[in-house]
Amino acid sequence: MAKTPQTPISRTSRLLDLVPYLAAHQGIELNSLAKDFSVTANQMVADLTTLWMCGLPGYTPLELMDLSFDSGYVTIHNAETLSKPRNLTSEESIALLLGLDLVVQSLPEERSDLLAIATALRNKLAERANLPSPVHANSSGDSAIRTSILHAISAKKSVEISYHSLYADVITSRVITPLEIHIEETHENVWAYCESANSFRSFRMDRVLESKEVKAPARTSHPNHSSESHSIDFVLRIHSRLRDAVERFSINKADMAGDIHKQAYSQQWLIRSVLSSSGAVELIAPGMTRESIALTAATLLRKYETH
Amino acid sequence: MSRKIERLINLTIALLATKRYLTKNEIFSSVEGYEGSPETKERMFERDKDDLRNLGIQIEVGGFDPAFDDEAGYRIKSENYSLNLGTITGTEIALLSLAAEAWRGAALDDAAQSALLKLRSMGVESDMDSIPNISLQIRTPQTNFEMISQAISQRGVLKFSYLSKDLEVQHRSVAPYAIATHRGFWYLAGMDLDRKSLRTFRLDRIEGEIETSRGSNEYAIPEDFDILKSLEAIRKPERATLDIRKGKAHLLRVQALSIIDKGEWDEITLEYQDLTYVVDSILWHGDDVFVVAPDNLREAVVDALKVLVGLHG
């Protein structure tokens, strides 16, 4: 259960933080204390036993901390020296500052009172941490949509979403029963049962444009349009802008010598990706896709020459 | 292991409780756990000081008194040790909890949780009812945050390998000023010490380990520095007029400053700064987007199309 490895340093750090936490939560149940510190109850007993031996020089009962934890509830006395919480580390400050940025951007407009409080708090923290302006996070998803989906997950309800399919470039409305939110690389996805397609699907959170709760799942099955489930083998030659190509096509840098062999799962993605590389990459195979890129480019070029 | 922990905690308590600097000998004779030969005690103490400093605990060295002897003394000042945010309300704790929760499963999750434990030790209950029910999520798999954030707050120099546009590995020495998100990626901004100019670096383009200098206060961050400005408005934005097919090109549609209905097509205007980036995103949409103006953007798109036809035709 413990996330961090047990080094003397990490345990010391935990024990130092335990004292003020106990002072603020006298009589806390041992199990919930262990949970708050992400350790097992046994580990917490070991921590408390170690702490019990500590105190001011002299180390007589008068100077030692007074801990009681045998009844399953923990209290602490005679620990004034350590009873104030420790200062935030720079990493902790940055975590809170970046988090507050998102809070500030996500508060509803009518709560200008909270906005003022959050902004003042952010400035105060930044100043204390010697980080006056240097950190900033942008929210890339809509927090109202997240909240609606999270609510649907916990209430086991369905939502109607409008969703932008990037490769097909269409916006569709679907009824989904969201099951969980998970993160893949840098993107947040909703894993859901899509009532409109009658199957489990993953949706990119930042492409959900709207979400509203619906009473009962509307079990109207839509035709399954263009499900491109089989993979396409393609061969790519990179002519310039190497880094852009590596990032766009997720190429392993070790494979950069010569032509690149990869697989795609969407014809539309492949065509769009090659077009938007603006000539920095060339699709060698498959031949049909190559021809269709040539055709699109030539048609567009003629339009520019005549308009 | 627990003897070492006890000694570190006892040392912290002793140095915090003292009103004056304690000499090494006073520490050895009064703090429990220092045993063995004078050299052993000395080594133990040096290691303990380093360990406490690594935990972010500042130990002051001082108390030289020429009238008696010149032995250094040690203490921990309470104002440096403890969290001091002034008076704090339940609403503020609730907002900070929301901020910490945003890191669930992301890079600074552990730091956010330990910060939250400290805040919850201030004896003020979080007033979650006073804030709206919103849920936030920071997305980042980055693991270099810890190092970069420490370097920024200590004003220490970073050294790392960076991938250039042509995938060359370049060695950079940077005085870091700030980190920020931009278009879904994390960026570091700072003074490139070799190139002597302000640069931004996308964190996922940093190769391998980052090294930090051991020193601190090696530079100052300019007071008017604004990372968002250095990421955004380097150049004056240009304005483009595009025709986009009805019901298509949603990625461009959301950026539109104006939309005019022209039947089968809509005419939109949008602002852009990076010509390459805007050409790429126009071509992503194939024949659903047509550039009306300005001429230099039309020319850039036409040039790219000529290369595409040349390569694939």
Predicted confidence (pLDDT) at residue A229 exceeds the cutoff of 60? no
Backbone angles phi, psi at B127, to 5 degrees: -105, 80
Query: Which residue blocks in chain A are alpha helix, DSSP H?
Result: 8-24, 30-36, 41-52, 90-106, 112-128, 143-155, 242-248, 267-275, 287-306
pLDDT at residue number A223:
43
Domain identity same for B200 and B278: no
Query: For chain A, what are the domain ranges?
Result: 8-82, 90-128, 143-214, 232-306
pLDDT tens sequence across B33-66: 898 999 999 999 999 999 998 888 989 998 766 6
Topology (CATH level 3) of domain A143-214: SH3 type barrels. (2.30.30)
> Taking CB atoms and an 8 Å cutoff, what residues of chain B touch A134?
152, 176-179, 221, 225, 227
**A7 to chain B: closest CA residue:** B1
CATH of the domain at B46: 1.10.10
In-domain check, residue B140:
no
DSSP secondary structure letters along chain B: -HHHHHHHHHHHHHHHH-SSPEEHHHHHHHSTT--SSHHHHHHHHHHHHHHHHHTTPPPEEE--BTTTB---EEE--HHHHB----S--HHHHHHHHHHHHTTTTSTTHHHHHHHHHHHHTTS----GGGS-------------HHHHHHHHHHT--EEEEEE-TT--EEEEEEEEEEEEEETTEEEEEEEETTTTEEEEEEGGGEEEEEEE-S----S---TT--HHHHHS-SSPPEEEEEEEETT--HHHHTT-SEEEEETTEEEEEEEES-HHHHHHHHHHTGGGEEEEE-HHHHHHHHHHHHHHHHHH-
pLDDT tens sequence across B132-171: 877 777 766 566 777 888 788 788 999 999 988 888 889 9
Domain identity same for B73 and B111: no
> Taking CB atoms and an 8 Å cutoff, what residues of chain B touch A143?
134-136
pLDDT (average), residues B233-252: 86
Rounded CA separation B198/B191 (Å)? 5
pLDDT at residue number B3:
87
Domains A8-82 and A143-214 share a fold: no
Domain end, chosen from B194, B212, B231, is at B231
Find residues 99-158 of chain A whose CB sits inside 8 Å of chain B: 99-100, 102-103, 106-108, 111, 114, 117-118, 121, 124-125, 128-141, 143-144, 146-147, 150
pLDDT at residue number B141:
58
Number of domains chain B is built from: 4
Its CATH architecture, for the domain A8-82, is Orthogonal Bundle (1.10)
Lowest mean pLDDT: which of A45-49, A165-169, A295-299, B45-49?
A165-169
ipTM above 0.85, yes or no: no
Q: Are A66 and A78 in contact (CB under 8 A)?
A: yes
Contact of B67 with chain A, judged by CB distance below 8 Å, is answered with: no
Instruction: Give the pair of three-digit tokens for residue B160.
Output: 């790392």
Contact of B96 with chain A, judged by CB distance below 8 Å, is answered with: yes
* Residue-range definition of the domain harbouring residue B123: 90-130
Instruction: Give the pair of three-digit tokens for residue B96.
Output: 């900070």
CB contact under 8 A, A143 and B288: no
CB contact under 8 A, B177 and A57: no
In-domain check, residue B72:
yes
CB contact under 8 A, B312 and A300: no
Of A23, A111, A146, the CB nearest to B132: A111
Pick from A92, A200, A193: nearest CA to A152: A193
